[in-house]
Amino acid sequence: MKGKSLWLVVCIVLLLSLVTSAAAWAQAGQATLVIINFVGTPMTFTLDGTAYTVSGTDTAPDGGQLTLTLAPGKHTYSAHTPGSEGTNGDMELAAGQTQVLGARLQRLAAVVSPTGIVLEEPRDLLVLFEASLTPPAPAPAPVMAPLQPVPAGEGALVLVNYIGEELKIDIQGVVYTVPADNRLQVNLPPGQVSYSASAGLSGINGTALVKAGEYSGLSFTRETPPSEPDYDVGELEPTPVVLKIFVSPVSLDEAVVATRPAGPPAATPVTPAVAAPAGDGKLNVVNYIGEMLTLTIDDQVYSVAGGGGELTLTLSPGEYTYSASTPQAGSNGSLNVAAGATTRLSVTLDVQTGQMKTYIE
């Protein structure tokens, strides 16, 4: 009896091994399809006549996912979300292949005739694109161009572009280009100068005072665009809205540096700048968006007025996480506050994408 029992156990073990091997072989001969929904609302994905619901979120890479194990070969699909134009097509999957597709909405512009008559209204199109299960690397924070020493006998006008696209500035007949999300130093003789600035359809004229041996900062922002105008088929297209550009003085923490003229060295050496006293640090928040900003930091909530409004906080040295939001956009991140120093957090809005941008200086 003991011999029969042992033989029975051996048979069971062999059978389980064969079943496991067969399952592994079958799995290896299949294909995998992963759908990631980045739309923000539930999406219906239909594959080979079977409909699936994929939950949605607008925050990558944590979009709602659907994973399907499929037989190799050709498969037919369609996808749609409420209020958008759907998409459909075919795909060919090989044994052992893993195909990852992301879903997002693409805004199609209105179709207008040469005479300005609206032929088709703007619409949202659902598109599928090749995606990855590996989270993308975080985008590096924008880095402003460093300031250069001010030449002897001149002053520096520092033009800071928070508009989100290239800025053209004409200073007394000379045109300078300030890249998006960056700044440009222009060295000029001391005195009052006139300028005109433009970005897209927007423009502004003004004057600035250039001081010998100093940096004078001007920040350029643009008002938040209104909601999309109505495009009525058969009617004239809406007149483009020209957004206002705002100019505000901006302080620069870099030390004032003037190049000494050629000649013998001064008899008295230059005294280095005295470091700020140790202790608490300052956080200066500047809101360049055209509406009220809600800032949460150190478990405290603050409001910062729009259009260049500022808020200065005294904080203990250390690293802080923050969140900033308006009714239309939001952002969060972290920053360091150093003892005796001022950290500036500038908040702007990219008018092209509607996304909030923050700059730490």
Question: What domains does the chain contain, in order, with CATH numbers?
Answer: 28-130 (2.60.40), 145-258 (2.60.40.10), 276-361 (2.60.40.2890)
What tokens were used for 75? 């498969």
What tokens were used for 277? 């006293």
DSSP letter assigned to residue 258: B
How confident is the model at residue 328, as a pLDDT? 65
How confident is the model at residue 4, as a pLDDT? 56
- Mean pLDDT of the region 217-222: 90
Distance from C-alpha of 195 to C-alpha of 210, rounded to nearest angstrom = 12
DSSP 156-201: EEEEEE-SSS-EEEEETTEEEEE-TTEEEEEEE-SEEEEEEEEETT
How confident is the model at residue 178, as a pLDDT? 95
- Kindly give, in sequence order, each residue whose CB lies less than 8 Å from that of residue 351, ignoring residues fewer than 6 positions away: 163, 164, 165, 222, 224, 225, 243
> pTM for this one?
0.56
pLDDT > 50? residue 270: no
Distance from C-alpha of 256 to C-alpha of 28, rounded to nearest angstrom = 67
Distance from C-alpha of 130 to C-alpha of 310, rounded to nearest angstrom = 43
What tokens were used for 30? 């299949």
**Residue range 57-104, pLDDT digits in tens:** 654 455 688 999 999 999 999 999 988 888 999 999 999 999 999 888
What tokens were used for 61? 């890479």
pLDDT > 80? residue 279: no
What tokens were used for 21? 């091997």
